[in-house]
Structure 1
Amino acid sequence: MTQRRVSTGNRVSTVLARQLGSKLLAFREAAGLNQSRAAEALSSQTAKVAKMERGWVPFRDPDIIALCKLYVVEDDEVVAGLLRLAKLDRERRRAKGWWGALSPGNLREYIAMEDAALKVRLWQLSLIPGLFQTAEYIRAMAVPDISADEIGRIEQIVDVRRRRQARLHGDRPLQVHAVIWEAALRQLVGGPQAMGQQLAHLRDLTELPNVLVQVLPFRAGGYPGIGGPFNILSFVEEGAVDVVHMDGLRSTTWVEGVEESAAYADLFGRLCAVSLSPYDSVQLIESIGKEMRE
């Protein structure tokens, strides 16, 4: 099931809430009950149950407990997992972090999800991944002769990327496994000097114990994943299914279903299998960087 972030009035459908809602929907259907019966258990209207199952509203713990009792969900670990998922979603909605100052939208939701994630697996074809980009690289991607307003916007992007990159360090470092097509390493974004600095920075990041980089070389020929880049976010909370994030020109897509996210995990594994080893990838990064300095 591929879904986009949905807004209805002042209600927002979030990725985690949709996961939780789909689980409760499955339990209700397994119990052979309709939404009206669920609403009675909550002393509310049917519309509330519909909104919950679609992820449009944050979940209250008493409501989850009441519904699990009604649906005869007797496994304490399952119920506890649902409560943890609800808590995580409430925290994401409150945007407890620096990203809360950003305008509501796909970027803020993704950054909040990334901050909550334990691990990110990413596949990139044409650009160095944002978590690894230098400020010079980001600025070089801007169109020449931009306006003063656009310069301000670009500097905001630089600041946002810098703040995101802080997750690579500290007490709770983000685990990142990146597969990058060779083309992204050779594309002269900003010219040889800026690109040489970018590759040197990427090389330094591979020394971090939580960063693993593999390069898919040109010689691999045809390869899986040619359709476009994607990120897979994994969470430590039990019951939180991996979600896949893909950015398009005009929209952001979240792939949230268990089977669908598993398919992307399998695709990522196949990309890893045809890519260079981490050691050989570092050697190639260093070689290309040396070419740009000569």
Structure 2
Amino acid sequence: MTQRRVSTGNRVSTVLARQLGGQLLAFREAAGLNQSRAAEVLSAQTAKVAKMERGWVPFRDPDIIALCKLYGVEDAEVVDGLLRLAKLDRDRRKAKGWWSALDQGNLREYIAMEDVALKVRLWQLSVIPGLFQTPEYTRALAVPEISPDEIDHIERVVDVRRRRQARLYGDHPLQVHAVIWEAALRQMIGGPRAMGQQLAHLRELTELPNVHIQLLPFRAGGYPGVGGPFNILSFADEGAVDVIHMDGLGSTVWVEGEQESAAYAQLFGRLCAASLSPYDSVQLIEGIGKEMSE
């Protein structure tokens, strides 16, 4: 499903609200309850529950808490994630948040989602993922994309990367499982020194308990996922519907359906199965790093 904001009259459906509504819908159906029962708890009309589940309206925290209690959702982390998602949606509608000043609308939408996600699974073919990039690597990567009179843009890109990477640390860090094709580690972005630093940083990240990195080696031969890179963002428990993000040249695609989400999760699983183990991936990272330093 292509990324969009759908508007009908005074109602606006956003990616964030649809995701939150879909989570609550899944919880309601798992509890075996209908919309009328949910409406009773909210002292509202059934139409309100329908609008919430379709992402047509912003969500109030008391409504989310009441519905989670009704549906038997007791995991505090899951409930907190839904509340943060609701706040983010409200802020996005008001254009709040550090990411609201970004030039690219598509990038704003993705970072807004990533900022409240609990887990990200990503598949990358040609470059080191943004969450793992060093400033030197980011600068070298950005140079061919800009004109000489836009040189200040590079530092803005570096700052965005730095802010995103802050989520890898702290009390409740973002859980990241990345599968990266070997080509991304061998592409000489910025020269041997910059790549050496990047590989050393990648090696350091593997020590974080919330970062899981696997490399898909050249010797794997044919592999799934040749269609392009993608990110899977998770906001609740393992059984909830995820959102898939794919960024192409001049366009962004969000995949939000339950069947589509499951298909990408299966594809990611096949990529993991075809890749090296985390231990062997570290050995390959170190081996490529030594080759570049010789």
The alpha-carbon deviation at position 173 of structure 1 amounts to 1.2
Q: Distance between the aligned counterparts of 2:155 and 2:220, measured in 1?
A: 37
Contact 1:11 1:57 (C-alpha < 8 Å) held by counterparts: yes
Query: Does structure 2 conserve the Cα–Cα contact (< 8 Å) formed by 1:51 and 1:57?
Result: yes
Inter-partner Cα distance in structure 2 for 1:279 and 1:87 = 36
Distance 2:217 2:238 in 1: 36
1:5 aligns with 2:4: yes
Which amino acid counterpart does residue 266 of structure 2 have in structure 1? D
- 1:179 deviates by 0.5
Q: Secondary structure at the match of 1:122?
A: strand
Does residue 1:77 correspond to 2:72, yes or no? yes
SS of the equivalent of 2:142 reads: coil
TM-superposed CA distance for 1:111, in Å, is: 1.4
Q: Give runs of aligned pairs for residues 263-282 of structure 1, distance below 5 A.
A: 263-282=263-282
CA distance in 2 between counterparts of 1:160 and 1:293 reads 29
Which residue of 1 is the match for residue 152 of structure 2? Answer: 152
CA shift for structure 1 position 57: 2.9
Paired residues of 1:5 and 1:15 also in contact (CA < 8 A): yes
CA distance in 2, matches of 1:249, 1:122: 18
The verdict on how the C-alpha distance between 1:238 and 1:186 changes in structure 2, with shifts beyond 3 A counting, is closer
Secondary structure of 1:236 counterpart: coil
Give the TM-score normalised by the residue count of structure 2.
Answer: 0.79
Give 1:120 shift. Answer: 0.9
1:38-57 paired onto structure 2 within 5 Å:
42=45, 54-57=54-57
Q: Are residues 186 and 256 of structure 1, via their aligned partners in 2, closer, same or farther at CA, if it must alter by over 3 Å?
A: same
- Unaligned ranges ≥5, structure 1: 34-40, 69-73
Residue matched to 1:38? none
2:60/2:86 contact within 8 Å kept: no
Aligned mates of 1:87, 1:244 — CA distance in 2: 21
Question: Does the 8 Å contact 2:20/2:86 carry over to 1?
Answer: no
Aligned to 2:214, the other structure's residue is in SS state strand
Paired with 1:178 and 1:25, the residues of 2 have a C-alpha distance of 29
> For 1:171-182, what aligned pairs fall within 5 Å after superposition?
171-182=171-182
78, 86, 91: which is aligned to 2:87? 91
**1:1-294 to 2 correspondence within 5 Å?**
2-8=1-7, 12-21=12-21, 42=45, 54-60=54-60, 75-77=70-72, 87-93=83-89, 94-95=91-92, 97-102=97-102, 105-144=105-144, 146-147=146-147, 149-236=149-236, 241-294=241-294
CA RMSD of aligned residues (A): 3.6
- CA radius of gyration, larger in: 1
The DSSP-based 3-state class of the residue aligned with 1:265 is helix
TM-score (norm 1): 0.79
CA shift for structure 1 position 205: 1.0
Task: Give the partner amino acid of 1:214.
Answer: Q
SS at match of 2:189: coil
How far is 1:55 from its partner?
2.3
Residues 167-225 of structure 1: per-residue CA shift (max 9 Å, x gap): 11111111111100011111111122211111111111111111111110011110011
8 Å CA contact 1:231, 1:245 repeated in 2 = yes
In structure 2, give the amino acid aligned to 1:113: M
Change (3 A) 1:154 1:57: farther
For residue 274 of structure 1, report the CA deviation from its aligned partner. Answer: 0.9
Asked whether the equivalents of residues 196 and 293 of structure 2 are also in contact (C-alpha less than 8 Å), the reply is: yes
Percentage of matched positions with identical amino acids: 73
SS at match of 1:224: coil
2:232 corresponds to which letter in structure 1? I
Partners in 2 of 1:84 and 1:227 — Cα distance? 35
Provide the rounded CA distance (Å) in 1 between the counterparts of 2:167 and 2:65.
34
Q: What's the offset of the Cα at 1:259?
A: 1.9
Distance in 2 of aligned mates of 1:213 and 1:100: 30
CA distance in 2, matches of 1:265, 1:281: 21
- Structure 2 CA distance for partners of 1:223 and 1:108, relative to 1, 3 Å: same
Q: 1:201 to 1:79 in 2, by over 3 A?
A: closer
